[in-house]
Chain A
Amino acid sequence: MIDQSVCLAGVTLKNPIVAASGTFGFGREYGTFYDLSELGAICVKGLTPRRREGNPPPRIAETPMGIINSVGLQNPGVDAFIAAELPELRRHDVKIIANISGDTPEEYGEMCEKLSAAGVDLVEVNISCPNVKAGGLAYGTKPELAAEVTALAKRHSTVPVMVKLSPNVTDITEIAKAVAEAGADALSLINTLRGMRIDVNTRRPILRQNTGGLSGPAVLPVAVRMVWEVACAVKLPILGMGGVSCGSDAVQLMLAGASAVAVGTACFTDPYAPVKVRDELTQIAQSQGHGRVAELTGGVLPW
């Protein structure tokens, strides 16, 4: 049997498939369909220092081969996560990645301290949420701010820090380089692309917030391109995501330079999507004669 394990910023995942933040809750729901230990890692719903209610509904609109969401980081707060959800997640043999968003760089630092102490395996610093006013995307589109948040997160963490990049920028490598210089251990990309959909009869946007973040198969080519650009520009391991719904989608992201791959929106269509993507990816690597799936990383042969 082919070796499925991969390494992400010094953390060994038993396979390269990660549940994407915000699409998998804290694992409880999909854990009734399959054993969470089937996955390489679970990236939990975005956490904030205190409980957040999120945005008014409707929070979702369907688009051709995609969805636009504006959940607005609804979550119980970092302390409630540590007390009520983390112990439950820890009962499974799966790495836990805590996804965090703050309103100030200091808030990121504060959460990193708590989560490191609580024993998550990795912190994913979200500087790319398009659905909140403060923090979020504001940090992800300016290299100096992205670097400042990264440096603070690093200073307050004892576990590896991965920074999640936004595709809503002109040059993603500029942000990637700034974050790498500030000490990030890994990068994850892409978060959702800003989008909008209007009901032509009511002339109202479907989303109550007017705009939201586009994800799903429609964004895969953008994700592959951006992972490839970032992989060429910086030497950090990459968690690739955006539109993966089958094994060959995941292989594309790995060939472009990702060490591991997250599956998000595909779960809504098929709860078993992450497990199926893992099996298909393994199958493809095996049929191409690899002994380890990790050998796919960066294997693209660009013209």
Chain B
Amino acid sequence: MHHKLYKQNIVHGIYMLKKVLNAIKSVLEPISKVIANVINFILLAIVYFIGVGMVSLAMKLFGKHFLELKKQNKAMENKGVSHESNWQEHTVTKQPLEQYYRTF
């Protein structure tokens, strides 16, 4: 008899505990999402403004460009038309099998 009551109490206890935990979870979940987003934002901002930014500024100091934007604008503005072909040499033919395992 006692044993049965004891068992019932435990079941009830677990049930209540679950309810409390769920209530805490429902409050914490949106908060944790916000925190995750904020951390994400901070990390990505650091990577962008320090990582990408430093490399970008340093390379630009040496006159390096990563996209050919200026060339086009200059060609369009100065001459109106440039007569150079913009097709780029890029011969692609069959390679040895190993080459295709590369993701670059």
Do A and B share a complex? no
Interface residues of chain B, those whose CB is within 8 Å of chain A, are none
